[in-house]
Amino acid sequence: MQRSERDYPRDKKKESSNCLFGFGNWISSIMVDPRQILAGFLTVTMFVMLAHMIRRDHFHSNSQVRMSSTSKTQFEESKYAEQSVVEVDSSGLWKEDAPELKPCWAQPSLEEGDQSEGYVTFSLTDGPEYHVSQIADAVVVARNLGATLVVPDIRGSKLGDKRDFDDVYDSQKFTTSLNGVVRVVKQPPSISTKKLAVVKVPNRVTKEHIAENIEPVFREKGNIRLATYFPSVNMKKDKTKTEIDAAACMAMFGTLELQPEVRGVVDSMVERLRTLSRKSDGRFVAVDLRVDVLEKKGCKDKSGSATKSCFNAGEIATFLRKIGFGKDTTIYLTQSRWDSSLDTLKELFPRTYTKEGIMPMDKKDQFLNPEAPTLEEVVDYYICSESDVFVPAISGLFYANVAGKRISSGKTQILVPADIPGSSASPDNYLSHYVTKQNHLAYSCFC
């Protein structure tokens, strides 16, 4: 294709004469003093280096101007982490799973003579980390009262997010797993509100609490609806084991399985993460880091204590680098959609993904609904339970119950973040106390 005159520089017509003049100068330069050639070369080199430095400084200054003060701080944190971290032995990062633990509880037996005609109803609320505890409490209460347990519905944290049990979990598995432990029905007969009392139940309810506070109400009304509350998120094991613990263990670790469609979505996302992790033999890290929760908590120290309740993206990036994770590490975040505050993490770990980035396209409308986030939370809970390494950036019940599920399946690589003062540290120093001290409730239930 021919180019017109306006495609060339204005002085193009002078090029021929300039070339001849330049050629003459070149011939003359051959005869000059070599010291002059060296001086000229050094001068040109100096100007090239100066131009490069100016261009580099201009790029960085422009980048910083576009950042907010918060982003700038995070950017500097990640930049510092990249420069200050030294290479450490990464052999302790990826550990093989321990053998899967076996239940050590005795199967509770159901005595027909202790059965009543009443029902215990309840709902699963707030998220999967609450569901396992709510199931355990409901089973313990119904068994102790001799009542029939009604399969619960599921109510999310947002108004209108209500689902049937079958929408998330396998109801057949739930019912059959409790054979011989407590009677279970999917739907009770119609119950008059006059014969139904709402009873508050503390998480990890005791036999004494049931006898003193729940049984009298049940005997009077004949049916009760439980509302579980959580005085604390402590999931440490009890010092003593009782028969009632066996029912709680069975309920917490042996009743809930995902229904096939939800299980399929989780499996496809785990497989996708393993495919993206070829450079680490298919292994990946799951980090519980949700921007909305971080904003609510503010990631501040609790009452001035040395223990932080949460860590932001920049702090997590620094922590992971200092304990030896390299830039090719694949990271899954419980954040549903990308947020600019996560950029500092992606700078050090480019293979960082949210659900939006790896969920099957045909499932996004169903599973990524901000107005009904229950399915999103369920996906997070199970991926964090099945990852090779779990890092809880946020303390709370999600961390505690994911830890319990991991311990029961032998996945004990749970690393709790901290501010590391030096340039590097061993990951073994940051293993969860649930594992190092074996003080999680799961260790009471499994041997």
From 1.20.1270, 1.10.260, 1.10.3470, 3.40.50, which CATH number describes the 86-99+260-445 domain? 3.40.50
Which residue, 407, 394, 399, is CA-closest to 435?
407
Distance of CA 31 to the CA centre of its chain: 72
3-state secondary structure of 36: helix
Report whether pLDDT(66) > 70. Answer: no
Task: Identify the residue with better confidence: 241 or 413.
Answer: 413
Average pLDDT for residues 104-133, to the nearest whole number?
83
Please provide the size of the chain in residues. 447
Q: Output the pLDDT for position 59.
A: 27
- Nearest CA among 184, 177, 238 for reference residue 207: 238
Q: Which residues pair with 236 in a beta bridge?
A: 440
DSSP state of 212: I
Query: Above 70 in pLDDT, residue 243?
Result: no
Q: Which residue has the higher pLDDT, 296 or 401?
A: 401
Task: Indicate if the pLDDT at residue 303 is higher than 50.
Answer: no
User: Across the strands, what pairs with 120?
Assistant: 149, 224
Domain map of the chain by residue range?
86-99+260-445, 116-254
Mean pLDDT of the residues in the chain: 80
Q: What is the pTM of this model?
A: 0.77
What sign does the dihedral 232-233-236-241 (CA atoms) show?
A: positive
Contact predicate 343/111, CB 8 Å: no
Query: Interior CA angle at 357 toward 353 and 363, to 5°?
Result: 135
The predicted-structure confidence for 150-201, as pLDDT tens digits, reads as follows 999 999 878 788 999 999 999 999 999 999 899 999 988 888 778 899 999 9
> Cα–Cα distances in Å, from 273 out to 64, 330, 417?
33, 7, 22
3-state secondary structure of 28: helix
What is the rounded distance in angstroms from the CA atom of residue 69 to the CA atom of residue 80? 16
